[in-house]
Amino acid sequence: MDCIFCKIVNGEIPSKVLFEDELVLAIMDANPNVDGHTLIIPKKHYTDYQELDSEILTHIFDVAKKLGPSIMEKLNAKALTLLINYGNSQVVKHFHLHLLPNYASNESTATKSNDEIYDILKD
């Protein structure tokens, strides 16, 4: 399988990991739309949300509930968008949940490097 997220899960491609357990990996998006753009991906390959069972879906959202407030606090974000793409809008065909911080200053793009943001978030 030539899935970039499976390669990340298997350690074949490096990533900036914010959270990991037996079911999921939360990483910084390599091409962030905004500062703090985070992806929660299941370690098992599911093409899209239609394939997820209730247990993994619940777990992904439990991780989002844990990470979201922390990301917002550390980056001084005022809101958080949770996004799931499906169909043609899903670029990587491995289910993933986007956590996209929203800022009061109307920042709509990433302004800092992923390394700078990772240093803030990793603790």
List, by residue number, the catalytic residues: 96
The dihedral sign for the CA sequence 81, 85, 88, 91: positive
**Hunting for tokens 């247990």 — which residue is that?**
55
34: how many CB neighbours lie within 10 A of its CB?
21
